[in-house]
Each structure stands twice: as structure tokens, then as C-alpha cells.
Structure 1
């Protein structure tokens, strides 16, 4: 499974499309989702974590360096096209901890 962060206002939706100016939808895996969450959304309390089944995408998925790339850093799954709602197999609340940073929700960490 791969993971995608959305706001509560952005879900549900028929599909998730790349952000303006991007050619892919940014995603993460369970071990890296805290990195973009902390960098882009620190302290936000209106987030959900979508669990996406890559086999249901119907568009290319590529593992690539982050954006911006971190030398020697982790690679992230990038979805080159829209993610259909039918590919979302789980929706999890994604609140920050008391210090404003994020951890993988317990429901996903137990897998």
C-alpha cells in the first residue's frame, strides 16, 4: 500500500489529481509519510491519510527521489495520473502529536 495525505475538506472525492504544476500525485509509504507531513503540514488538525492500493490505480506508479530531492534520502511513490476513489482502500484520521509532528496511525503501524 501507498499513502496520500489530504485535508478533510478534500475527501471524499471522485479522484485525486496532481497539484497545479505537478505531473504526479505525491504519495508516501508507511515509513516515510511523516517526512512530508512534518515539512508541509506541521500542526494541522484537518488531515486524513488515504491508504491506496497500487494495483487499482490504472496509471503509472514510479518510485523517485523526493521533491525537492534529499541527497541520499528516501524515495517516494509518485502516481502519474489521477488516483481514482476506487483505489482508496482505507481512510485514517491523521492528527499531529502534541509537538505538532506526525506519526503513522496505530491502525497502520500494527500491520
Structure 2
């Protein structure tokens, strides 16, 4: 399982199409994380001001039609993530049928992502 962070409003746009975030056009790949703990660190480092609710797509890597490469973070991983952690980068749109389940980011009183829970 690999994980991708997306605001609900963005995910809900064009539900009949594969999902292609801006990073695919800008950087050539879709950023993903290798596990839930790393995903929370990514949210706290890069998504604290993103529109909420914030979702996390749990993707079955085997069901993606695009190539997945595991690469080191550049220039460095987010705080709390080891330098040897590899991140899955998906070199194409995310197939919606590869989504195993959807989680929602829960926030603590200080505005930090504290857990991922199943959506209702």
C-alpha cells in the first residue's frame, strides 16, 4: 500500500477520470508516501494550510497502470522521517480503481495532523 494526500474538493472533481494532480504536469510524477506515519509527517511539513478536509488515498501499487519508482526525498525528507526512507513516485495518473480505501486527516488542537481515520 502507498499513500497520496489530496484535498477532498480536488479528489471529488471529475470522479470518472483518473486523478492527475498538478505535480504530474510540473514534476513528471505523483508524490506518494510509503506508510501512514510518513504520510502524517508529509502532511505536517507541506499540507498544514491546504484546504480541508484533507484525504489520504491508500493505493494498491499493483493495481496502478503507471510506473512506480521508489526514490529518496530531494533535497531531504520531512522532519521526523529518516534519511534512508524511500518515497514512491507514480509516473502517471492515479487509477481510481487502485484506491483500496480513503482515509481522512485528523488534526489536534495545535493544528497538526495527528492521525488518519476512515472516512464515513
TM-score (norm 1): 0.81
Greater than 6 Å deviation, 4+ residue runs:
none
> For 1:78, which of 89, 110, 117 is the aligned residue?
89
Q: Which residue of 2 aligns with 1:59?
A: 66
Instruction: Tell me how far apart the structure 1 counterparts of residues 107 and 8 of structure 2 sit (CA, whole Å).
Output: 14
Note the residue ranges of structure 2 that are not aligned, 5 or more in a row: none
Aligned to 2:31: 26
The answer to which of 85-94 and 43-52 deviates more is: 43-52
Q: Structure 1 unaligned segments of length 5 or more: list them.
A: none
Deviation at 1:102, TM superposition (A): 1.5
Residue of 85, 88, 91 corresponding to 2:102: 91
How far does residue 56 in structure 1 lie from its aligned partner after superposition?
Answer: 0.5
Q: What TM-score do the two structures reach when normalised by structure 2?
A: 0.76
Question: Which residue of the partner structure matches residue 42 of structure 2?
Answer: 36
Structure 2 residue matching 1:89: 3-state secondary structure: strand
Paired with 1:106 and 1:11, the residues of 2 have a C-alpha distance of 17
Give the paired residue count. Answer: 107
